[in-house]
Structure 1
Amino acid sequence: MKSLFLFLCCFISSVFFSQQKEEFKLVKSYYNQHRSMLNTEFKKKFDAETGNFQKASIKQDFLFFMKKMDSIENVALIGALLKIKNTEDLSRLQLENKTISPEKAPDIFPITDKSADYPGGINALRKEVAHLFYIDGVLSETKIVKATVAFIVEKDGTISNVEAQGDNFTFNRQAQIALYSLSEKFSPAIINGDPVRYRFKLPLTMSFE
């Protein structure tokens, strides 16, 4: 059995802005729609059967198809992640080549009057990341895998520039997808009454039991 443990802290760093979440929303909306259609069709078939054996067989088929759907959706989310990372890399290159002047790049402030917060607080953030994490997408020969995920909360409460550092590439990738897939915006960090960019660090640990 795999289980995911989340620990949260924050730190400040400088990185270039890029808004990304829409890619993940579109993928999730598409596959949730197909899950709903499958659920409806299987329920009709299940309700039409009278024998317990047939009902059990239909239930097993349903679980199999849903598991396959999760896997296919994850492939699509990996594609969205690659597209986003390419966009971020291009933005960094533009900044380095001074296509975008450095003085126009928004700063991330080391001290704030109010830190960025997720709706419901840290525990709500942990719970949602754990829910969004596709555990079957992690391949590991060790019993415990770890990564540290850093991301920026922008002035409008969206997140960008999610980076995961750890020894297991598949774990890093799923961690980034989970963070980009968060359903809610943060309340931004505040200095002198104005929203500012703020960066979190989120250590993740998964155990295989």
Structure 2
Amino acid sequence: MKPLTHLLAALALACSLPLARAQTPPPAEQPVQPTVERRDVKLPRLPSTDFEVGLFFGIYSVQNFGTQGAAGLRLAYHLTEDWFVEAALGQAKVSDEAFRRVLPGGVITPGQETLNYMNLSAGYNLLPGELFLGAQRALPTQLYLIGGVGTTRFNGQRAQTFNLGMGWRVFLRDEWALRVDLRDHLFPLDLLGQRDRTHNPELTLGASFLF
């Protein structure tokens, strides 16, 4: 009986091998490994915009002497995104034509005198905004407050000056901006025998380069 049993077991095993081969899934094909060529990437050198230099032109109104043209130079350093410091040199023409109608010889010599000022100020940027040029383009803008101290020289006198005001900066590009500034220069003036503190507003339009 044992040889018969061994024979039957061998037949059963032989019959099960083809069925097992049929149920075994074929091996998966090896996926294609892409060949990526690595290259050296040169990081861009982004320009620093901490410094700002610019020219400005506008009008300067000297109390009791009317309004004349003004021009000057500004240099600023941006400490943070909110705070900046600025030095400004400016010049304006002053005329005493109105006084010459009443006082012989006027009050300043000659009839048209130059006013020079130098200020060191601190500014604070308010919330940024945008200026829309049509439906496809918008320029970033910045509204700021500014104030500081300096000196003013006029008709042989030199006086300490405080300036307060605000401005609006429009960025044409990352490096170029247009500025509109409105400031009041406060300094004492003695031209009529009495020393008075005067208010002298200034409105200017300027262009700045940031680097």
TM-score, with length taken from structure 2: 0.25
Question: Greater helix percent: which structure?
Answer: 1
RCO higher in 1 or 2 (8 Å CA, sep ≥ 6)? 1
